[in-house]
Amino acid sequence: TDLAALAHGLPKAELHLHLEGTLEPELKFALAERNGIELAETTVEQVRATYDFTDLTSFLAVYYPAMQVLQTADDFHDLAWAYLQKAASQGVVHAEMFFDPQAHTSRGVPFSEVIGGYRRAIVRAERELGVSGELILCFLRDFSAEYAMATLMEALAYKPWILGVGLDSDERGNPPEKFAAVFARARQEGFLLTMHCDIDQVGSIDNIRTVLTGIAVDRIDHGTNIVEDPSLVALAIEKGIGFTTCPVSNSFVTEQMKADEIVQLLRAGAKVTVNSDDPAYFGGYVGDNYAALAAQASLSAADLVQLARNSFEASWLTPARRDAYL
Ligand code: HPA
Ligand code: ZN
C-alpha cells in the first residue's frame, strides 16, 4: 500500500538498534567458515527455527551464543556494513547504534577489534551511502557494576567514536540503580545516557521513575510502560525525553506490539520513535516496523511523518544537523 511505501521511504533516524542483533543467518555461516567455527545448524531454515522467542530471556539465550562467529575487526565491519546498507534501503539517513563490547571481551575478543571494525563501517557508510552513524556503548546489566566501570575506562581511549552509553540485557534483578555510579562517571566524561526499561517487566514503572528522576538519562529505550503513570509521562514530555520503541520486537517478547501505548505517547506529544531493536532475529528492519505499527494502529500518513520527525528530534545529532532534517 501507499502507507507501507511511505513507511519505508520516509527519511528517518534509527535510534534503537543492536549491531549484534543484525547478524543474519547467511552472514553467520560466512563468518563461521572464515573463522573455522563449527555451528550446530547447517541451514538458514534450521537457524530460523531456533527463533522461537516467548520473552526477553529466551531471545537472549539465542542472541549471545550466535556472537561466537564475530572475532576480528573484519567481522565487526562486515556486520555493521550489511546493516547500514539495509537501513539505507529503508530510509535511514542517520543511525545511533548500540554495541555490546562485553559480549565480546568476556570471551576474549579485544575491545579494539570490536570498535575498530564498527568504526570502519561507519566511515564507509558516510562516504558510500551518505548515511551518518554513531555508536552507543551498552553495558550488559547481568554483569557486575565493576565490569561495567572497567569497560567504561577502556572506552575512554575511543571517546571520539562513542556518543553515549546505554544499558541492556536482562533487567530482572538488575535495576538501573546498580549502575548509578557507572552512569554518573559516564556523564562526567561527556557521554550522553540512555537505558533500556523493557516492556515485559513487572514493576518496570519503578525503573522508569529511577532513570528519569535519579539517573537523569537523556533518552529511554522501550519504556512504553510509562503510560501507567500519567505524572511520569508529563515529566518526560517536560524534559523532552525521547522514547525508542520497537513494535515488532515487542510482539516477540510479549506477543503484542504495545501499539496502544505507543500511540498514546504519540498523541500526548512525547518524542516517541519507532525502531527495529534486533532486526535479524525479529524479522523487521525499521521501515518494516513503521509499516507494522501503521497497520496495527491504523495510523495516518501524517502520523508516520510525525514519527520520522520525532526520530530526528530525539536523536543526538547536533542542533544544526538535526534542524536540517526537520
Ligand atoms: N533488551 C534487552 N537487551 C537486549 C535487547 C533488548 O531489546 N536487544 C539486545 N539486547
Ligand atoms: Zn534493545
Residue 326 belongs to some domain of the structure: no
Ligand 1: residues with CB < 6 A are 18, 21, 56, 168-169, 196, 198, 249, 277-278
Measure CA of the first residue to CA of the last residue in the chain; give whole Å. Answer: 25
Read off the pLDDT of residues 37-78 as tens digits, 9 standing for 90 and up: 999 999 999 999 999 998 999 999 999 999 999 999 999 999
How many Cβ atoms are within 10 Å of 103's Cβ, its own excluded? 21
Which atom of ligand 1 is least distant from the CA of 278?
8
Residue 323 belongs to some domain of the structure: no
Q: Ligand 1: which residue has its CA nearest to atom 10?
A: 169
- Is 206 part of any known ligand binding site? no
User: Ligand 1 test: best mutation among 58, 100, 252, 277, most atoms within 8 Å of CB?
Assistant: 277
- Is 77 part of any known ligand binding site? no
Residue 325 belongs to some domain of the structure: no
The CA 166 to ligand 2 mean position distance, Å, reads: 10
Which atom of ligand 1 is least distant from the CA of 249?
7
Q: What is the mean pLDDT of residues 282-299?
A: 97
Task: Indicate which CATH number applies to the domain containing 116.
Answer: 3.20.20.140
CA distance 86 to 195: 25
- Is 104 part of any known ligand binding site? no
Q: Which domain holds residue 164?
A: 2-316
pLDDT band at 159; cut points 50, 70, 90? very high
Ligand closest to CA 103: 1
CA distance 20 to 26: 14
Q: How far is CA 248 from CA 188, 228, 283, in A?
A: 35, 21, 8
**Percentage, residues of the chain above pLDDT 70:** 100
Closest CA to 168 of 201, 191, 190: 201
CB 287 within 8 A of CB 64: no
Longest dimension (CA), the chain: 55
Read off the pLDDT of residues 243-277 as tens digits, 9 standing for 90 and up: 999 999 999 888 899 999 999 999 999 999 999 99
CA distance 88 to 85: 5
The CA 71 to ligand 1 mean position distance, Å, reads: 21
- Is 222 part of any known ligand binding site? no
Considering its fold, how many domains does the chain have in total?
1
Residue 18 belongs to some domain of the structure: yes
CA distance 217 to 270: 15
Inform me whether the pLDDT recorded for 201 exceeds 80. Answer: no
CA distance 181 to 79: 32
* Residues written for the chain: 326
Which atom of ligand 1 is least distant from the CA of 253?
7
ipTM over 0.90: yes
The CA 169 to ligand 1 mean position distance, Å, reads: 5
- Is 8 part of any known ligand binding site? no
- Cα 235 to chain centroid distance, Å, stands at 23
Which atom of ligand 1 is least distant from the CA of 98?
9
Residue 213 belongs to some domain of the structure: yes
State residue 202's pLDDT score: 76
Identity (one letter) of the amino acid at 45? Answer: E
